[in-house]
Amino acid sequence: MARRRTLFRMLAIQRVLVKYGLDDIIKETHLLRPLRFLFYLAPRRRDKSAPIGERIRLALEELGPIFVKFGQAISTRRDLLPPDIADELAKLQDAVPPFPAEQAIEIINNAYGESVDTVFARFDTEPLAAASIAQVHTAQLKAGTEVIVKVLRPGVLEQIERDLAVLRMIAGLADRYWEHGKRLRPLEVVDEYEHTILDELDLMREAANTAQLKRNFQGSDMLYVPDIYWDYCRPEVMVQERIFGTQISDMETLREAGTNIQLLAENGVELFFTQVFRHNFFHADMHPGNIFVLHNDPAKPKYAAVDFGIVGTLSPEDQRYLAENFLAFFDRDYHRIAKLHIDSGWVPPGTRVDQLEAAVRTVCEPIFNKPLSEISFAQLLMRLFRVAQRFDVEIQPQMILLHKTLFNIEGLGRMLYPELDLWKTAHPVLRRWMDEQVGGRAMLKDVRDNLPQLRDALRELPAILNHVGEQVAEGRIRFNLQSPELKEIHRQLEEQRRQRYWLTAAATSVVTGSLLMVLGPAPWAGWVLLGIGALAAYAARP
């Protein structure tokens, strides 16, 4: 049954592609290719003379949330797309068609168990914004606070689960038949994405993420995170403080206000690296629709972020690995980069360090000392991908969110201030973090963090030793070590003890015998002791 639904969904995807005149995708990907002719007979086929950007946007909207999110992700990369397509995909960030307000009110009423009119002093039925997962309405609490009310789209879970089944089937085919499938690990990539997208459907989780990020940046001059009103939050409804700022994509308004654009761009890079390395909790959906600018003081503009449904974390090992790679990259230490890849197990252990070092140097060296506007990260990533193919580098699924966020950050930086020196801005943040991880302050912090456990262990140690001593004295604890290596060590220790015993006896006999022979009244006794010493020395032989 599930396989049949998946097949029907693939047919539906083909129908939408043909409808919007995008059937070249079917030809290139071999997606149920022989069946594409069936859809040419379908009515309401869109005129191919319409702009291709518009057709792609409409197709993604019709295909649903997962495809819309793909369009959102690439819409920030204007360096990768023609301007007309980038402009159309940018509309996916906050201009997805809304669902009827009556449905939103019904969802809210069911969530609270009472009418929306009794919960809020005012509820605006016209949506403020609509996205692929949810839409937002403005409202006012009884206390007079202006808020936004986020409501999940009806039926979104079923739609996402259906599309995930399609992705999983395609990934399974790639894993089985594609020559690069094992290295790129498509099934694990889909699993990672499934975990992320399903978490986004629980608005209580998003509210918790928002609260955590607000704590992380409490008192910050660079980022403001809105308040959450927990009494009004449910899994399908979330209420938070309304942000009154300028959307970051509205460059005309920011310039007219005299906003310090360069500082804004530099702060964006620092915020990213601070979230990833200092807090290990980063906003992983940083497209322009989710970022606002508060420019009450234009000389010191401040970011305001919303929509924390997707956040990312890294293990301490991945954090350290990434930081060392970044720093080695900034320092042009390509040998270190190659060594880190081998030590991490991301490349086969037999890989030659010098060959990998030369390949990385060839890709990275040309981009240094250039502003963002002169660096083609698209070409850089493609060349790095070819290096990865050559050396069988395994894709790490846990890094996908970070890569996506880096793409978003670069897109924002290119839009704000193309002359931004990305490396100069990021290097001090990373260096400071590494010093905190391995320096004296890090050691003191580890000791301080573990003091309670150390204190408890020391407090209990005398009682434990006393108890063990009593058990040994009473013969209730026996040590039975059968290891051949331990037996050999025991034999050697016994042999050394025996040798020391006889050598001590021999030395004592010789010295005493010599004194008796020279000074004593009975020289014969000295000869006896010398003989005993000789026998003892003979017995001490190994």
Exposure string over 217-231, b if 16+ CB within 10 A, otherwise e: beeeebbbbbebbee
Alpha carbon of residue 452 to chain centroid: 30
Report how far residue 183's alpha carbon sits from residue 389's, in angstroms, rounded to the nearest whole number: 8
Block residue for tokens 């081998």: 342
DSSP state of 237: E
**What number of H helices and E strands is found in the chain?**
23, 11
Contact 139, 124 (CB under 8 A): yes
Report how far residue 299's alpha carbon sits from residue 138's, in angstroms, rounded to the nearest whole number: 30
Contact 274, 429 (CB under 8 A): yes
Longest dimension (CA), the chain: 133
Report how far residue 210's alpha carbon sits from residue 135's, in angstroms, rounded to the nearest whole number: 17
- Is position 285 annotated as part of the catalytic site? yes
Number of neighbouring beta carbons within 10 Å of residue 76: 27
Contact 241, 227 (CB under 8 A): yes
Query: Alpha helix (H) ranges present in 346-483?
Result: 353-364, 377-390, 400-416, 422-438, 440-473
Contact 237, 150 (CB under 8 A): yes
Contact 233, 207 (CB under 8 A): yes
Report how far residue 381's alpha carbon sits from residue 384's, in angstroms, rounded to the nearest whole number: 5
Beta strands 134-140 and 129-130 are antiparallel
Q: Which residue out of 191, 285, 307, 343 is catalytically annotated? A: 285
Of 199, 203, 198, nearest to 235 by C-alpha is 203
- What positions carry a catalytic annotation? 285
